[in-house]
Amino acid sequence: MNWPNLLQGIIQSLSTILITFLMFYLAGFLKKRFGKDLSDKYLKAANIAVKITEQVYKKTENISNEKKKNMAMNIAKEILEKENEKKIDDKLLDRTIEASVYEIGRNK
């Protein structure tokens, strides 16, 4: 039996397994890190947009919710664009604005 070659094969296999686990760990860490930053940006933009929209339409009574929502969407998109977000997910932003409106209404 050739022990040096056997040991070298075992070490290479173990190092490959270790590197694979480290890559999966790093990928998960980066996803959590950057995913959280993105969601924080969307939440912040939605909250600011909803508050601005409420201030603009506070005294006006006959404004549809759809018009308010469109204004909030446009403001939030502007905020995200200024934070260098290249691809803005309209569906996610829409849901985030809805959640923000609900949260602000609940706290009144």
- pLDDT digits 0-9 by tens, 3-62: 888 888 899 888 888 777 777 776 677 567 667 777 788 889 999 999 999 888 887 778
Reported confidence tier of residue 100, pLDDT bands at 50, 70, 90:
confident
pTM exceeding the 0.85 threshold for the entire prediction = no
- The contacts of residue 81 (CB under 8 Å, 6+ apart) are 88
Asked whether 94 and 73 are in contact (CB, 8 A), the reply is: yes
Closest CA to 104 of 46, 34, 36, 19: 46
Rounded Cα distance between 42 and 81, Å, is 11
